[in-house]
Structure 1
Amino acid sequence: METTKQINYNRAKTWQIGCFAFNNTATNVIMLLMGYVSYYATGVVGLSVVLVSSLLTSMRMFDAITDPIIGFVIDKTDGKFGKFRPMILIGYTIMAISILTMYNTLHLFPQNLKMIGFIAFYALYIIGYTFQTACTKAGQACLTNDPAQRPLFTRFDSIYNLLIFATGAQYASGYIAPKYGGFTFQAMQEFSLTFVSIAGLFTALAIIGIWSKDKTEFFGTGKKGPKVKFRDYVSVLKGNRPLQMLVVSAATDKLAMQTSGNNSTVMVMLYGIVIGNFGLYGKMSMITMIPTFFIILIGTKYASKFGSKKALVRFTWLSIISYTCVFLVLFLGDPTKISLENFGVMTALWITLMCLSKGFGTISGGIVIPMIADCADYETYLTGRYVPGMMGTLFSFVDKMISSFGATIVGLAVAYIGYTASMPQVGDPYSTPLFWVTIGLYLGMPIFGWICSLIAMKFYELDDEKMKEIQEKIVEIKLAAQEEEKQFA
């Protein structure tokens, strides 16, 4: 233990935070892979675009429903192997089996069973995904409770995901698609095996990172708290105002991201049709990597010094400004002149703004995860209950219910401009309606989400000073419990 301003914080070693952050990276690797499932489902399996979009929306709602159940299981678990390690392993195993089986067998199903098979495999994937992602949000509460140290998770997480999404984009657009002539069955076979294996390595590192902290002594007050019941979900969500505001902030941002930069269809429309150079997509991810890395270092340093709330607000404003500038470049300039082979003013503006917007957006989105741990500590401060699983999955439940409409929004948007039988493909004809749909999805939705975040943060009270007060109170509870144990020993 280290003493900081008379508070004995439970601090983690830097390598432990760095390793545990790989848990989120592992699930993001899988999420990146599953971002191309619509191409497999429509182009290989033969399901319709609107049907697949609707199914993905429905399954994301199912994903939201599983969250409270799995969070409850996590909070009730405290066995020989800890609370989080078994859940992480169970989650990855379920995901790996369901994904590899789907990508290798679903196209062989009889036509009348293909939709049922897709739903079944996807539902299993969701259950596994929820087990593992719930531990990312909940596990930080026992890893460290130092407000100045928690933003380190965002630093590691953001850097890892920066590398993964950059190399993943290059892998998809610069290797897999050219090698197989699109996202064919053979392409998805290689894609799925590669990414599931990478996620497995990251999962193992995450388990190592949390190993020594996954013990009762680091859970909340360090002793068994009040018995948790499933109906407590209602009282927690109703009584924890910071959690409510964080949910609003993150859910609107997630909905925006589901219809923007994290959506493969929108990237095909932007780079493959509007700009007319899909290969640039993967290259831009690599170009923005280094500048984004430095912005992440600055942003997390700012969060450690001034608190996560101030960092989120500051970088959300910067994100809005940078995306507005991106719109002006696309609207006033000629997007087809954005090219590394013919470097000019448009290319220089595009690269500069992409570097800034990527970095600012990474901080404003990534800082939310350690803030969930702050909300969990606030619940312990209020009620004495240590329910990190409940906090994380309550957050995810509302988040996913709102953001589940992302796939439907994209599906309906592209169907509106004529894509009803297949998704937009690289090299499709450019049109004004397609330009405005692309702008609305890629830029308009994120700006809308960030505005909602700024409004929500007006009512979020867990700034750096409040978190110090919370940790002081939890330390007092722990010391009182230890004295009580000595008296009865």
Structure 2
Amino acid sequence: MKLSEYAQIIKANKPMQRLMVAGAGCKLALAIATNTTVLLALYGIVMGNYNSLYLPMMVLGYVYAVPFFLLSMRTSQKKGQRASLIRYVSVALICYVGVLVLLLVNSHGNPSLTLSFPFKGGGAINLYTILFIVFFGVGYGTYYATADMPIPMVADCSDYETYRSGKYIPGIMGTMFSLVDKLVSSLAQTLVAFIFLACAGLSELPDDSTPYSMGIKVAVIIMFCVIPMLAWGATLLAMKGYTLTGAKMKEIQAVNAARKAAIEQGMSLEEAMERYQTVDQVPEQLRN
């Protein structure tokens, strides 16, 4: 295929456009917020004790992720993947408003306004830590559960392309989405380096010997909260106009099945597409 043909498919397939935005947003949010350097700067430099904080916070994040993963699967089965993605990305966005506020009020060196765990030299758990665990845990659990949700939705966009144009090209649809996914993953590390350079004036990525500065705190807030929140906002805007709901996909699959059956019986593709355009025209046995 020529590049112009790929461009034409993307131009005509509106759901695929929106899914690419949603997929890129979810992937970018996860890639940057879980970047090793960002977490080292957050727990080691801003909070002051990487050894006592990193492991407990990551374990808590995965503990929260399990129930939300199960809930997102249940919502997807009942209401469709679009509804599930919107619901749990919205929860993540709301929770990270709380995380953002906590990071803004964080005071380096003040035990009552920083994270604290009684683990490897840490202090006693305080109210700040409890609030951070709640907001971060629920937020992390929901966005981790939805991070890869756009991937299976590519199949819906492929079915829609078959419904729209008559072309069965799942490999091409997957390739286009994978390209965007890989570009975003590659961009994440570049953004991390650029933001540390722009905000903290660092010539290289920070490590455990890098001293605290307000510039590093600003960089951490941007990467740990602001960029993911903007990415989730873009995801929600993209999904607002995403038309491939669970009910719509049942109609599309029924029409595609009717056209396929007609073609197998000798009808041309053009005739089949003309004959079956809505679910009302599909034989009853193919509607379920």
**Common fold: TM-score over 0.5:** yes
Please say if 1:378 is aligned against 2:160: yes
Counterpart for residue 275 of structure 2: none
Instruction: Please state how far the C-alpha of 1:447 moved relative to its aligned partner.
Output: 0.5
Residues 409-424 of structure 1 aligned to structure 2 (within 5 Å): 409-416=191-198, 417-420=200-203, 422-424=204-206
Instruction: Work out the CA distance in 2 between the residues paired with 1:399 and 1:230.
Output: 18
Instruction: Work out the CA distance in 2 between the residues paired with 1:475 and 1:394.
Output: 25
Q: For 1:460, what is the secondary structure of its paired residue?
A: coil
Q: For 1:461, what is the secondary structure of its paired residue?
A: coil
Please say if 1:311 is aligned against 2:94: no
Match among 284, 288, 292 for residue 57 of structure 2: 284
Instruction: Please state how far the C-alpha of 1:351 moved relative to its aligned partner.
Output: 1.7
Instruction: Work out the CA distance in 1 between the residues paired with 2:37 and 2:165.
Output: 45
Contact map agreement 2:40 2:208 (CA 8 A) in 1? yes
Q: For 1:259, what is the secondary structure of its paired residue?
A: helix
Please say if 1:259 is aligned against 2:41: no
Residues 171-320 of structure 1 aligned to structure 2 (within 5 Å): 231-261=4-34, 263-279=35-51, 280-320=53-93
Instruction: Work out the CA distance in 2 between the residues paired with 1:398 and 1:366.
Output: 13
Instruction: Work out the CA distance in 2 between the residues paired with 1:377 and 1:402.
Output: 25
Instruction: Work out the CA distance in 2 between the residues paired with 1:238 and 1:264.
Output: 37
Instruction: Please state how far the C-alpha of 1:477 moved relative to its aligned partner.
Output: 2.3
Counterpart for residue 476 of structure 1: 258
Contact map agreement 1:272 1:427 (CA 8 A) in 2? no
Instruction: Work out the CA distance in 1 between the residues paired with 2:232 and 2:3.
Output: 32
Q: 1:291 to 1:258 in 2, by over 3 A?
A: closer
Instruction: Work out the CA distance in 2 between the residues paired with 1:454 and 1:255.
Output: 14
Please tell me the residue identity of whatever aligns with 2:216.
Answer: L
| Stretches of structure 2 lacking an aligned partner (at least 5 in a row) | 119-123, 268-288
Instruction: Work out the CA distance in 1 between the residues paired with 2:125 and 2:208.
Output: 22
- Equivalent pairs counted in the alignment come to 256
Instruction: Please state how far the C-alpha of 1:361 moved relative to its aligned partner.
Output: 0.5
Counterpart for residue 215 of structure 2: 433
Instruction: Work out the CA distance in 1 between the residues paired with 2:93 and 2:161.
Output: 32
User: For residues 2-54 of structure 1, what are the alpha-carbon distances to aligned partners after superposition, in whole Å with 9 as ceiling and x for unaligned?
Assistant: xxxxxxxxxxxxxxxxxxxxxxxxxxxxxxxxxxxxxxxxxxxxxxxxxxxxx
Instruction: Work out the CA distance in 1 between the residues paired with 2:216 and 2:159.
Output: 47
TM-score when normalising by structure 2: 0.81
Match among 94, 117, 121 for residue 321 of structure 1: 94
Q: For 1:430, what is the secondary structure of its paired residue?
A: coil
Please tell me the residue identity of whatever aligns with 2:43.
Answer: Y
Instruction: Please state how far the C-alpha of 1:404 moved relative to its aligned partner.
Output: 4.1
| Stretches of structure 1 lacking an aligned partner (at least 5 in a row) | 1-227
Counterpart for residue 460 of structure 1: 242
Please tell me the residue identity of whatever aligns with 1:455.
Answer: L
Q: For 2:244, what is the secondary structure of its paired residue?
A: coil
Instruction: Work out the CA distance in 1 between the residues paired with 2:244 and 2:107.
Output: 45
Instruction: Work out the CA distance in 2 between the residues paired with 1:289 and 1:256.
Output: 16
Q: 1:230 to 1:334 in 2, by over 3 A?
A: closer
State the identity %: 34
Contact map agreement 2:31 2:188 (CA 8 A) in 1? yes
Instruction: Please state how far the C-alpha of 1:302 moved relative to its aligned partner.
Output: 0.8
Please tell me the residue identity of whatever aligns with 1:270.
Answer: L
Instruction: Work out the CA distance in 2 between the residues paired with 1:231 and 1:328.
Output: 46
Instruction: Work out the CA distance in 2 between the residues paired with 1:291 and 1:418.
Output: 35
Contact map agreement 2:26 2:232 (CA 8 A) in 1? yes
Please tell me the residue identity of whatever aligns with 1:466.
Answer: K
Residues 110-189 of structure 1 aligned to structure 2 (within 5 Å): none
Instruction: Work out the CA distance in 1 between the residues paired with 2:60 and 2:31.
Output: 23
Residues 96-111 of structure 1 aligned to structure 2 (within 5 Å): none
Instruction: Work out the CA distance in 2 between the residues paired with 1:360 and 1:318.
Output: 7
Question: Pairwise CA RMSD of aligned residues?
Answer: 2.1
Contact map agreement 2:43 2:54 (CA 8 A) in 1? yes
Counterpart for residue 330 of structure 1: 103
Instruction: Please state how far the C-alpha of 1:234 moved relative to its aligned partner.
Output: 2.2
Q: 1:396 to 1:321 in 2, by over 3 A?
A: same
TM-score when normalising by structure 1: 0.49
Q: For 2:147, what is the secondary structure of its paired residue?
A: helix
